[in-house]
Structure 1
Amino acid sequence: MTGHATPDRTATGATAGDALPLSGVQEEMWTAYRSAPGSHAYNAVWRLRIRGTVDVPALEKAVAALQERHEQLRSLFVERDGLPRRVLLDGPHARLEVRDLPGADEATLYEVSRRETHEPFRLETEGPLRVVLFRRSAQDAVLVPTAHHIVSDYVSRSMMVGDLLRAYADFAAGRVPEWAPVTGSYAEYAEEEARYLASPAGRATADRWRSALAGSAPAELPLDRPRPVLRALRGATVVRHLPADVVDALPDAARAARTTPYAYALAAFQAFVHRWTGQDDFLLGVPASNRMGRRLRDVVGCFLNTVPVRARFTADTTFRGAAAEAGREVTRCLVDGRYPGARLKAPTAGGRAPLFHMAVFLVPLDRMKLPVPPVPQGAPEGPPATCAGLRVSLVDDLAQQEGQLDLLLRLEQAPDGITAVFSYDTDVFDRASVEGFADGFTRMLRAAVTEPARQVADVPLADEHDPAGLPGLGGAGEGPAF
């Protein structure tokens, strides 16, 4: 293939068959995978609705070319001498699978393809990539490229779909893809991380983290059931499209607090957690991207490092003050975000305990270069893009990567608004409780943007017209802190 790395060597000189060390975040995901191998909690997917006749041989070549270009996708994950390792293969491992659904209606096509996204990976034997084409007719199909999160983050997912579509267009036209070479590799990134952790700079960062987190504890929303010792990584999702007036007011409120809209929304969630739990000092997870430098720009891999951010509240804390503090904490986390979050777990008699059970992510779809347009709020699929005579649309897949934590709030910021996606662990929460949390956060965010100088302690948790809608009623927790 002209223009991309040879299939048997990485940018750092690793050859097929080599057992390569994992990064910190990969080690954490490997541990989760080994503890619950039947889970789909770490499946990352973009389903694509395709209208037009698919050139299957061209698509098969595109799937192979995608793996040749990105060495993470042609790897297996194993244990060698008691340590997790990535074994580089000498060529493409995943093959395009075509499944015909003659006579299937629209609902069946969506449901069957959705179930495919929930199939667990067998990383030791099958690798981290699957590509399945579901055809209900010669002119109507859904393409499901699924990757395990151990080799992917949101940027990588977009990159993979873009490369797959570009390769398909070239092969369908009788051309060999001529894309710019990938000059870096994930192996290089993992090696650099290991050097950093062993260096004086890495040890100094660890000391700063210990100092910054000392005396705090994970935020604990009231659970409906006790947290199991070993997570099964089962989950579900509650979705809320944030009110347009709240979304419109968010940037101005953030500017007035001299922080970012993400930090402001994070502060509103922290305020809700504080009011509901009564905790004045607690930790949540936030994402830090370690995709730094031009050599890693086109590398597929998981560069997402989730680290703890601290929240402190007093009786006098205002929303604006909470937002400014959240902004400072997020900045501090980003500065020291190279240090793997998994290494920050607290030591216990039985091992190491996590420093957070909940996290808040922002996905800025409106600022990303996506290969296909995002799905509008409430729609089953997005506007079509064209590719070699095909019309390709993104299918709504907000409900994915569920059950990784007690609760993970993902704020997807698109041109038409912000969608709040609450993915939760069904072993500890009932849906009704999470729906109450989602409504409580929406009310708190509205108060934060409309009355930024108001003290957090003065804001009612419940809608005055629906006091029974308080989250956590009937659960195992102690109830709200008024």
Structure 2
Amino acid sequence: MWDSARRHLREQLRLERGLPSLPGESVCGPIPLSATQMRMWHRELTTADGRFANNVAAPVVLLGVLDRPALEYAVERVVRRHNALRTAFEETPEGPRQRVRTVGGGGRITYEDLSGGSPEMVDRRLAATVTERFDLTAGVPFRVVVFRRRPDDHIMLVVGHHLVLDGRSLSVILVEVARCYTEYLDGGPVRDDRPIVQLDQFVRWQGDWMRSAAAVPYERYWRSVLADPAFRRFGAHPFRRPSADDHSGGRVVCRVSAEVAARVDGFAAAEGVSSISVYLAAYQAVMEGCLGQRHVVVGIPAVNRGRAELADMVGLLANVLPVAVVEPASRTLRSAVCLAERSVAAAYVHQAMPIEHMTPREMPLLDPAESPIDTFFAAYRQAVPEPVLMTGLELGPWPQLRAKDTETPVMMTVFIDDDGADVRLGYGEWALSESAAHDLLAVYTALMDAGTRRPDVTLASLLGTVGAP
């Protein structure tokens, strides 16, 4: 492990020792929302009359004869296990509150026959289901819809509201549904393996420690980050959401060749940084060069599940860490990568405190439904996910959802594998056109190529040679 990584790990462990123990008892009665949930709640209220839905979803293709009673048993078991899937929200005189409902109510799994439908029609139905709004007062912020394409071909779509689910939660749910489905058909023993911590317990714990002395180092760090001039550009945001709700969007994809990816890895190793920092530094420069931003605030995802007892918890734990850079294109790739590595590592050390806890005090002019982040970036090394194994069924190709969460104006995701990298750019059509998104990706991949060949030339100069506007 690199020396810088060791230093940041030691700092994170030092801060973690200041955190109180996580609770092991259930919470009775209504409790306030977490800081991250509060922003999502305001977002829900401001988009109540539009087509925008604050939902997260995962589709899975199931090939073989589907056993409906087994699937219904599996879904009910998962709902019983996780309080988050039975949480209702309401406004009170004291502010918004959440309360866990008792098991029951049904209606979480439905079936729809799309036999004979065209692929385009199936895509439309998937997108419509993903964006269908939840009644958050009902205590059912989660549903499973099974689309039948042929007798031995189904798409199982898991959808939940972002108030109670994040991306990791979807993975937990899929694995548990598969395990319970198999348990039902194989007649295996029923295991009582409720997670150590529930979402309502975590929210109460997080609120307590953020009001304690243990939170002071975290507050000090995020206060210094939010003091950056990049966060004071009210009215100068490069992506202004239109006055009318427009939530259309799309995604374009390109490939980084194995040659360029190998050059990235070699350069990163020589500099003692992660290759992900190289991809991030180039993205920051492209955002400045192509969009005319002197200040760039890039959000990077943090799953916030470093503790073992949180690994298989269902709930909204993930947050987005802002990393601000002034004029990144004025730097060389060598300089920009080192800065990106330090900035991201420091942000991850302090990820236990969501930025939404600090923005109301440090940025009082910011709309509580909005984020101070301009654009988003995520990168992942190839990993083997936990298998979704269901007796009598095989998984088909993972379908892509056309529904786009355009709260994010532009988000780049890099998936690094053994033969290069796939770069995906999701965008809201109110922020970029499809042709502009393709052009941005072309500039990005060309900059990666040129930058790793000439790492001591400023990125602004290189952008001029690769056709950046």
Q: TM exceeds 0.5?
A: yes
| d(CA) in 1 for partners of 2:157, 2:402 | 15
SS of residue matched to 1:142 = strand
**Percentage of pairs with the same residue:** 24
2:191 equivalent to 1:191: no
| d(CA) in 2 for partners of 1:335, 1:350 | 25
1:25/1:340 contact within 8 Å kept? yes
SS of residue matched to 2:249 = strand
The size of the alignment, in residue pairs, is 438
Partner of 1:407: 410
Of residues 52-61 and 95-104 in structure 1, the stretch that sits farther from structure 2 once superposed is 95-104
1:289/1:304 contact within 8 Å kept? yes
Letter in 1 for 2:163: I
Q: Pairwise mapping of residues 140-219 of structure 1 onto structure 2 (< 5 A)? A: 140-178=153-191, 180-217=193-230
Partner of 2:12: none
Partner of 2:17: none
Q: By how many angstroms is 1:414 displaced?
A: 5.0
State the superposition RMSD in angstroms: 2.8
2:83/2:200 contact within 8 Å kept? no
Letter in 2 for 1:254: A
Q: Pairwise mapping of residues 179-328 of structure 1 onto structure 2 (< 5 A)? A: 180-217=193-230, 226-228=240-242, 232=245, 234-244=247-257, 245-313=259-327, 317-328=331-342
Q: By how many angstroms is 1:57 displaced?
A: 0.8
**1:249–1:396 CA distance, 2 compared to 1 (3 A):** farther
Partner of 1:467: none
SS of residue matched to 2:116 = coil
| d(CA) in 2 for partners of 1:355, 1:392 | 39
SS of residue matched to 1:283 = strand
Q: By how many angstroms is 1:255 displaced?
A: 1.7
Partner of 1:57: 69
**1:339–1:253 CA distance, 2 compared to 1 (3 A):** same
2:423 equivalent to 1:420: yes
| d(CA) in 2 for partners of 1:314, 1:417 | 25
Q: By how many angstroms is 1:300 displaced?
A: 0.8
**1:110–1:429 CA distance, 2 compared to 1 (3 A):** closer
Of 341, 350, 355, the residue aligned with 2:372 is 355
Partner of 1:122: 135
**1:270–1:175 CA distance, 2 compared to 1 (3 A):** same
Q: By how many angstroms is 1:66 displaced?
A: 0.9
Partner of 2:392: 389
1:49/1:142 contact within 8 Å kept? yes
| d(CA) in 1 for partners of 2:401, 2:118 | 22
Partner of 1:4: none
Partner of 2:11: none
**1:301–1:448 CA distance, 2 compared to 1 (3 A):** farther
Higher relative contact order (CA 8 A, sep 6+): 2
1:49-76 per-position Cα deviation (integer Å, ceiling 9, x unaligned): 1221111111111110111111111222
**1:461–1:92 CA distance, 2 compared to 1 (3 A):** farther
**1:292–1:222 CA distance, 2 compared to 1 (3 A):** closer
Of 445, 456, 459, the residue aligned with 1:442 is 445
Partner of 2:86: 74
What TM-score, normalized to structure 2? 0.84
Partner of 2:386: 370
| d(CA) in 2 for partners of 1:126, 1:321 | 50
| d(CA) in 1 for partners of 2:329, 2:52 | 42
SS of residue matched to 2:70 = helix
Gapped runs of 5+ residues in structure 1?
A: 1-9, 373-385, 465-469, 471-479
| d(CA) in 1 for partners of 2:118, 2:295 | 52
1:239/1:419 contact within 8 Å kept? no
Letter in 1 for 2:460: A
1:275/1:457 contact within 8 Å kept? yes
Larger fraction in helix: 2
1:77/1:86 contact within 8 Å kept? yes
Letter in 1 for 2:85: L
**1:416–1:432 CA distance, 2 compared to 1 (3 A):** same
Letter in 2 for 1:152: L
Of 418, 424, 429, the residue aligned with 2:432 is 429
2:166/2:315 contact within 8 Å kept? yes
| d(CA) in 2 for partners of 1:217, 1:31 | 23
Of residues 128-137 and 34-43 in structure 1, the stretch that sits farther from structure 2 once superposed is 34-43
2:455 equivalent to 1:452: yes
Gapped runs of 5+ residues in structure 2?
A: 1-22
Q: By how many angstroms is 1:138 displaced?
A: 2.2
1:260-319 per-position Cα deviation (integer Å, ceiling 9, x unaligned): 122221111111123335544432212223213222121111221112112134786210
Of 21, 30, 40, the residue aligned with 1:29 is 40
Letter in 2 for 1:191: R
What TM-score, normalized to structure 1? 0.82
| d(CA) in 2 for partners of 1:99, 1:153 | 26
1:221/1:276 contact within 8 Å kept? no
Letter in 2 for 1:153: D
| d(CA) in 1 for partners of 2:124, 2:420 | 27
SS of residue matched to 1:242 = strand
